[in-house]
């Protein structure tokens, strides 16, 4: 079972980097950038930081997904996805899927371009939208992490 322990360690480290980064951007970076004088400065600075973090988040989400899939396969956990008691397994997959689609599909194909165009038209509104979206993503992420920790240690919302 050393392989599962290693997979779990990789999984947890990837989640710490990924969700910790989302928390840092949401609770530290965005509020700090709010003090910039112009919205154009805010958007430019945010884009430069977010671009760097996106690379780290891509690596972290790949590691989290690969290690999570490995553990589910190795431990034969597929049937657990069918029960309400293990709702947090599905939540982890859905959260991972959301971030993976954003990082690997939406951003490169259209989201970056859409963001820049919208920021040129309405920099203040775009910045507010970015803040709201990050708050929602962070809330979903933290609820999922809390549910996974509690659920994997026996606490259940459903019997």
Q: What is the pLDDT of residues 138-158, one digit of tens each?
A: 999 999 999 999 999 988 877
Give the total number of structural domains in the chain.
1
Tokens of 14: 């990837």
Report yes or no on 159 lying in a domain.
Answer: no
Domain assignment present for residue 158? The answer is no
Please check whether residue 129 lies inside any domain of the structure.
yes
Is 126 a member of any domain?
yes
Q: Which residue has the tokens 């950038």?
A: 33
Predicted model pTM: 0.90
* Domain extent at residue 91: 2-152
**Quick check: is 130 in a domain?**
yes
pLDDT score for 25: 92
Beta-carbon neighbour count of residue 70 at 10 Å?
17
- Residue 138 in domain: yes
Quick: pLDDT tens for 52-103: 899 999 999 999 999 999 999 999 999 999 989 999 999 999 999 999 999 9
């Amino acid at each position: 079972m050393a392989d599962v322990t290693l997979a779990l360690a990789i999984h947890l480290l990837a989640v710490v980097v990924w969700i910790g980064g989302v928390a840092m951007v949401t609770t530290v970076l965005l509020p700090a950038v709010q003090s910039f004088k112009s919205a154009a400065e805010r958007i430019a600075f945010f884009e430069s930081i977010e671009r760097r973090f996106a690379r780290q988040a891509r690596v972290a989400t790949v590691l989290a997904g690969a290690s999570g899939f490995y553990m589910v396969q190795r431990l034969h956990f597929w049937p657990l996805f069918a029960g309400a008691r293990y709702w947090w397994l599905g939540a982890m997959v859905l959260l991972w899927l959301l971030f993976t689609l954003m990082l690997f599909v939406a951003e490169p194909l259209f989201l970056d371009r859409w963001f820049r165009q919208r920021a040129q038209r309405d920099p203040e509104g775009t910045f507010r939208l970015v803040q709201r979206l990050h708050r929602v993503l962070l809330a979903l992420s933290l609820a999922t992490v809390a549910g996974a920790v509690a659920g994997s240690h026996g606490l259940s919302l459903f019997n």
